[in-house]
Amino acid sequence: MALVKYNNNSISAVTSTGLATGSLVPIKTLTASSSATLSFVDGTDGVVLDSTYPIYVFKFINCRPATDNTNFTFNLSADSGSNYNVTKTSTFFNAYHKEDASDAGITYDGSRDLAQGTGFQPLSHGAGSDTDQNLGGTLYLFDPSSTTFVKHFIAHINLNEFRDYCNTGFTAGYGNTTSAIDAVQFKYASGNISAGTIKLYGIKDS
């Protein structure tokens, strides 16, 4: 039997892999029930989006749209949620595989990226609204309270596409503002969020 090693040491001797040592700290959970939007606003009902943490993480769990074939999206606010219209530049690519194995591939999708756009950023292809269909994934937002740098984000979403595909989408970009970001909103491009949970975490430095 082969011995698994890390940096030429047996795995039993490894005490650290050199990855980030920060831990996830639960901040807020929002649960949808035919909800038009789910919004996380700093200072509202225990939401923290300030300098407390250098990285914030949103987890999407069983998010199902009320409308078939619609994109899951998000936007940022620099005025405590009065407007979700921060200028963003982004890129999007996805991998897909149909249930009957008749089609599969990976592609860059320019229809879901932004070039200095203020609209909502798509995080997925067209999600299915069948009762057993949903999406799950993660969005990282880096140092939103900075007043020096732009605000980077990275997302990975997996879903049951409306045409019965497994579709996994990767989105990355930045909010092109040096204003502090103090609110984040999620919604489907059309129709409500029929069901689902979004959890917000902060990542400690150590």
Number of structural domains, the chain? 1
Average pLDDT in the chain: 91
- Let me know if residue 5 belongs to a domain: no
Confidence of residue 204 (pLDDT cuts 50, 70, 90): confident
Residue-level pLDDT at 14: 42
pTM for the whole structure: 0.88
- Domain span including residue 161: 21-203
Position 21 scores a pLDDT of 55
pLDDT for 22 equals 72
In a domain, 16, yes or no: no
pLDDT at position 12 over 60:
no
Confidence band of 205 (pLDDT split at 50, 70, 90): confident
Q: Would you say residue 171 lies in a domain?
A: yes
Which residues in 99-181 belong to E strands, given as ranges? 104-108, 115-117, 121-122, 135-142, 151-160, 165-175
CATH number, position 121: 2.60.120
In a domain, 4, yes or no: no
Is residue 7 domain-resident? no
Q: What is the pLDDT of residues 137-189, one digit of tens each?
A: 999 999 999 999 999 999 999 999 999 999 999 999 999 999 999 999 999 99
Q: What local confidence, expressed as pLDDT, does residue 43 receive? A: 96
* pLDDT given at position 167: 96
Maximum distance among all alpha carbons in the chain?
60
Q: Please compute the mean of the pLDDT values over residues 73-86 and round it to a whole number.
A: 98
Q: HSE of 195 in the Cβ direction (CA atoms, 13 Å)?
A: 8
Residues 180 and 25: beta-carbon distance below 8 Å: no
- The band of 59, judged by pLDDT with boundaries at 50, 70 and 90, is very high
For residue 75, being part of any structural domain is answered with: yes
In a domain, 181, yes or no: yes
pLDDT band at 199 (very low <50, low <70, confident <90, very high): very high
Domain assignment present for residue 2? The answer is: no
